[in-house]
Structure 1
Amino acid sequence: MNILLTGGTGYIGSHTAVVLAQAGHDVVLYDNLSNSDRRVVNHLAHITGRPMTFVEGDIRDAELLTRTLRAAGIEAVIHFAGLKAVGESVDKPVEYYANNVQGTISLLQAMQAVSIGTLVFSSSATVYGEPQYLPLDEKHPTSATNPYGRSKLHIEEMLLDVAKSDQRWRIACLRYFNPVGAHDSALIGESPRGIPNNLMPYIAQVAAGQRQALQVFGDDYPTPDGTGVRDYIHVMDLARGHLAALGFLAHHAGWHAVNLGTGHGSSVLEMVRAFEHVSGQSVPYKITPRRPGDVAACYAKADKAARELGWSAQLGLEDMCRSTWKFQRQSESGSSR
């Protein structure tokens, strides 16, 4: 199958490209490189032994998207392209709605123009808002507490309307929990620009001596050690979830929302201890006040993914920490990204 990956050189897109190529699919990467590196294209070719077509373009450029879809004979699209920092979305809501919502509309217009109806959307557990119960299943009420989350939820609702309008549409919204880790080659991984927004790359930079200490936002939550609990999922497990979703859509029309998580949570301090164990390095931290909007715990009920996609997470916390540390060390030596 010929598959277009919007945001294909980004963190999750690049790992998914590996899984798809190794399964025999032909992948086209579409990215504006706003949060990724062109060298990823060569790294992917090295990992998979297969060259990948790369198109530099903005997700809002419906004309370029249409030309790309037609020229490559695309049969399905996996849509990763989107801005994703919660804090930044509060400061730049117009930019987030323009890129995420308007960009998705442009993609849908391009797909309609060339009669492509299979789409896997990179959604997020943020669409659940404040958890009313745990674990979070797909029937949990949706809401959003920030522009980033609202953009994801609005896109999901748009896609539901699109699927209802024409039975030829086959759409899966994959609600990610907390992706971490890197490919075993250490050629691709999470490489944030500037100060990391996510826990794992921040821990890795502290362990490497690039940053003094990790800030732990609150130690008085009603959790076993007082720190926030999240469902961390290895990015390679997540990538395999996209392959499974494509297989599911081949036999199921309509709109489908599916959680991709491990089904259990780990606290910030558990993550710190696991990383110290794997890396052999100390990870100093300091407790600071809670951040507004943070919740005590958030983790998935992943039964639907197992039942309908035939997918479940296989890699544990140590695998996540080990691959992250390997990627961090490779990055320092200048041999990745």
Structure 2
Amino acid sequence: MRHKILVTGGAGYIGSHTALALLQAGYDVIVIDNLSNSSKVSLERVGEIAGRNPLFIEGDLRDAALVNQIFNDHPIESVLHFAALKSVEESVREPLRYFENNLVSTMTLCQAMANANVFNLVFSSSAVVYGAPSIVPIAEHHPTGQTTNPYGRSKFMIEQMLADLAEADPRWKIAILRYFNPVGAHPNGLIGEDPNGMPNNLVPYICRVAVGTLAELKIFGNDYPTADGTGVRDYIHVLDLADGHLSALDAIRKSGGTHIWNLGTGQGNSVLEVLREFEDISGRPIPYKIAPRRPGDIATCFADVSKAERELGWKAKYTLNEMLRDAWKWQSTNPLGYK
């Protein structure tokens, strides 16, 4: 019997690409998603690419009865937990909503897992737990918790909660994956990033300007202490990220406790560098204007990825050019996303 993997938030951007990678690796996949910032069309297309479909359950992880029922009904072996609200800017405006959604959903999930004797968990964390780094590249042992926004604090609090779980009960095998900045799409253009409303992340914002659904890009701050004054981030292809989840899942099956890995490329690119590269790829000029810095943003953030390479045998393969090429293929063939 094939292992069944529960993917929370699996209709979303990273979740759908990882669900595809799991199906292609031979797993049976169950997805729970409340579709608050995603579309089930993504999963239909995942099934089209993989040649078989994940089982989709529409619902909210905070619904304890539903989550317990899923574990009662299916022989789930491991969980990949993506479901969360994830906008830095929105979290600054609505902190209670972020703490309630992200923390309660994780607590409900972990309780249901324990009830069902399922203890393998890969958690989607974020580089935001490092806050404003004093040195880069950022390694896993660097200080965490001095986060600059409620979204980051919610991820940090969940990391602490999971570490306490593993400390209290040695049956838990937990991978905490701190992503840097996921971009790109499946190279065939069938699945990609499709945020509701105004994009919060740079590349989907640029893509929508290029395709004509937004008039111009806002660059939030050009007075950072960086080479061109714009923020520097470590961009990683979503397919590399999906592979990192499969590597982490394999690793935790072999050893208990809590393991933390950065997933990034180990290189930083500024907003203007990404913009110019995208213009070259798409052949379209991207009009932009400079806007004030956003609350909670930082100047420079890129990863030390040597631990993941050493312990997981995982390394990002895709270049920035390939990430942006695939993002543009997705947006240009799906100008309105999944709608």
Q: TM-score, normalised by structure 2?
A: 0.97
Tell me the amino acid that sits aligned with residue 189 of structure 2: A
Query: Is contact 1:205-1:211 (8 Å) kept?
Result: yes
| Percent sequence identity over aligned pairs | 56
What is the letter of the counterpart of residue 329 of structure 1?
S
For the aligned residues, what is the CA RMSD? 1.2
Q: How does 1:93-132 map onto structure 2 within 5 Å?
A: 93-132=95-134
> Within 5 Å, which residues of 2 pair with 1:1-337?
1-143=3-145, 144-332=147-335, 336=338
- Deviations 1:188-247, CA, capped at 9 Å, x for gaps: 111011111000011011111222221112222222222110000011100110000001
Equivalent position amino acid for 1:124 in 2: S
Aligned AA (1:296): A
The runs of at least 4 aligned residues of structure 1 exceeding 3 Å deviation read none
What is the CA-CA distance between 1:81 and the residue it aligns to?
0.5
- Are 2:89 and 2:296, in contact at CA under 8 Å, matched by a contact in 1? no
Letter in 1 for 2:73: A
Q: Is the 8 A contact 2:92 2:296 kept in 1?
A: no
Partner Cα distance (2:250, 2:198) in 1: 37
Superposition deviation, residue 288 in structure 1: 2.5
Contact 2:8–2:83 (CA<8 Å) still a contact in 1?
yes
Q: Following the alignment from structure 2 to structure 1, what is the Cα–Cα distance between the partners of residues 9 and 168? A: 27
Q: How far, CA to CA, are the matches of 1:10 and 1:275 in structure 2?
A: 23
1:148 counterpart SS class: helix
* Partner SS for 2:76: coil
- What is the DSSP-based 3-state SS (H/G/I as helix, E as strand, rest coil) of the residue aligned with 2:62? coil
Alignment deviations for residues 114-162 of structure 1 (CA, whole Å, 9 cap, x no partner):
0000000000001001101110000110021211111100000000000
Secondary structure in 2 matching 1:256:
strand
8 Å CA contact 1:47–1:185 kept in 2: the answer is: no
Checking the alignment, whether the CA contact within 8 Å between 1:4 and 1:69 is kept in structure 2 is no
**Secondary structure of 1:75's aligned partner:** strand
Could you tell me how far apart the structure 2 residues matched to 1:221 and 1:88 are?
Answer: 22
Deviation at 1:41, TM superposition (A): 2.1
Per the alignment, in what secondary structure is the counterpart of residue 314 of structure 1? coil
Give 5+ residue unaligned stretches, structure 1: none
TM-score w.r.t. length of structure 1: 0.97
Matched pairs, number: 336
Asked whether the 8 Å contact 1:2–1:28 carries over to 2, the reply is yes
